[in-house]
Structure 1
Amino acid sequence: MENVLSIDELEELDRHADDIIAGRLPLQRKEMPLRDTTADSGTTCQGLDLAPANLSAREREGYFVRMHMLHRVHALHERMLLHPRVLDVVEVLIGPDILALSTMFFFKPPGKAGQGWHQDSFYLPTYPDTLCGVWIAVEDCDAENGALQIAAGSCVEPVYPPAEGYGFGDELISGIQRIRGASEEDATCDLADVAAQYDIRRIEMRAGSAVFFSGHALHRSTANKTTDRSRRSFAAHYCNARSFVRWGSDQIGDDVHAAPIIDVRTGMTNGSHILARGTTHLPFGLPVFGTPCAASKAHV
């Protein structure tokens, strides 16, 4: 879908990314430790911290791969999560009642790795599974700078549970394969063989365009092979507001995914997430920065 974001909104996100890299946000107080940035993977994630001091601008850029859940601490990300044009589409796909769950901001500077095949519901389960992801290009995305790829039609696949470690899946399906290497390179990712059964489509996008997909759909991105172009993007996840959510109940402390509101009896975290559209019989949260949405109207 083209022109989801306006030119002004794209410029605002671009300036925001530049400000983060330069360390200009008031929220940036803690300095990251030095690390070998050439070893970063496609899932390397940062908090809203400063790059180490005394680095060049190019070296600072290399310290930023992706950030999660900034809508809880920054008004711009909340506004993007609750963007009316995005919600209009999500409402058609999984609505009319929508719970806004997560945000991700990707920097992907030159040379950074992609993220291997994965299903979003593997990481973010909802019951029933109504998860919907949106991925918005902040800059033009193509084969050279690591555009998104989707295994077309793979939304019919079950969610494959992990053989070990973190992850969720359709474990009640008799004989379902338990997978290793979600989000890793093809050589170690069991989902690569599943994706190979489908038509793999590279989603080349102009800045401001968006793609929407099911939490079951297999997707990945490849490395940014350019020397002078980043591949900035914004992603968010939603579910039907009448789905039961426990995501975030097993994260603790400073983990950005940790749910601030957890029902002690059931582990439900719906109250941590914003009711974007419609109504629900379940708890829901309010927007921290007052972005207009169904939650703020229901609270009046």
Structure 2
Amino acid sequence: MITTTQVNQYKEKGYLVIPDLFSKEEIAALRKETADIFRGKRGVVEGMIDTDDDISDEEVLKKYVAIHFPHKISPVIYKALFHKGVIDVLNGIIGPDVKCMQSMLFVKGPGKAGQSWHQDEFYIPTRDRSLTGVWIAIDDANVENGCLWIIPGKPGYIMRRVENSSKEYADVDTVDVTRFDKDSIPVEVKSGSVVFFHGYTLHSSLRNKTDDCFRTALVNHYMSADSMLPWDQDGHLPATEDLRDIVLVSGKDPYVWKGTVDLNKPYLRPEKLIIKTTI
């Protein structure tokens, strides 16, 4: 169970690392499922390339960056949303009632660019600032293969986004973190470890500079079920005061009377990323 010290660290620093939260067997299942998803064995997603069975998993994965909403087509990923260790931590930092609205499966292969500095609440707004990212390391993540970088402590507001000029990132925009340069730290973790970070916490990742290492990670987003979710999925869905394409993972849903919908569909993340920008 999560301790009071860990809860306080999350509140003060905006992130928390729990080593070995997933067992080796659970990670092995996620790794196999990752290959099966990108081979089209869980359903063909627009943009997927037909591959022969004699091509290695590594060669298949090198063709992609990430897939959004894999839990929509994968029973293994869907089950991972409810992982007991993850839910125990979320109950400590969010509360007893928790819902999930997004999953993302990253397969950052050799040479692939990273994500620029950002705050997740810029993209997924909650009414109570309860958004929490759950970053599950399927591979070891280190500086060389493009681990997370975090600036401890979370600003109390959403910072302005500016044009990105760094080739480290795939995004067209970023947050200017010049004044925080000395505070940013790499979050190097072993396979099976999980990084929890607040929706206002500044984080990024650099390019994978290795020749033969992947940095595969499953990233799920959760929030308090007590809060409504005014998210239009970056303009892909009609504007709403409460998106009900959610999965209740813990406790009770006070809006159960609204029912749920299935609007978001799995899609491949492009190499050049233009999700939502104010530039």
TM over 0.5: yes
Amino acid at match of 2:25: D
Distance 1:273 1:29, change over 3 A: closer
* Larger strand proportion of the pair: 2
| Deviation, structure 1 residue 55 | 11
| Deviation, structure 1 residue 179 | 2.5
In the superposition, the TM-score normalised over structure 1's length comes to 0.71
Gaps of 5+ in 2: 1-17, 263-279
| Deviation, structure 1 residue 82 | 1.4
Distance 1:277 1:223, change over 3 A: same
Amino acid at match of 2:118: H
Distance 1:88 1:29, change over 3 A: closer
8 A Cα contact 2:162 2:176, kept in partner: no
Matching residue of 1:73: 73
Provide the C-alpha distance between the structure 2 equivalents of 1:226 and 1:196, rounded to a whole number of angstroms.
27
Distance 1:212 1:16, change over 3 A: same
Query: Which residues in structure 2 correspond to 1:173-252 (within 5 Å)?
Result: 178-181=160-163, 189=173, 191-193=175-177, 196=180, 199-248=183-232, 251-252=235-236
8 A Cα contact 1:117 1:182, kept in partner: no
Distance 1:102 1:182, change over 3 A: farther
Matching residue of 1:279: 252
Matched length? 241
| Deviation, structure 1 residue 116 | 0.8
Note if 1:135 corresponds to 2:151.
no
Distance 1:51 1:59, change over 3 A: farther
Distance 1:152 1:51, change over 3 A: farther
Distance 1:131 1:195, change over 3 A: farther
| Deviation, structure 1 residue 285 | 6.1
Higher CA-based Rg: 1
Distance 1:152 1:267, change over 3 A: closer
Distance 1:14 1:190, change over 3 A: closer
Amino acid at match of 1:280: D
Matching residue of 2:267: none
| Deviation, structure 1 residue 50 | 3.1
| More off after superposition, 210-219 vs 197-206 | 197-206
Matching residue of 1:10: 27
Distance 1:80 1:181, change over 3 A: farther
Residues 54-104 of structure 1, C-alpha deviations (whole Å, 9 max, x = no match): 996565332211111111221111111111110110111011211111111
Identity level (%): 32
Matching residue of 1:294: none
Note if 1:116 corresponds to 2:128.
no
| Deviation, structure 1 residue 181 | 3.7
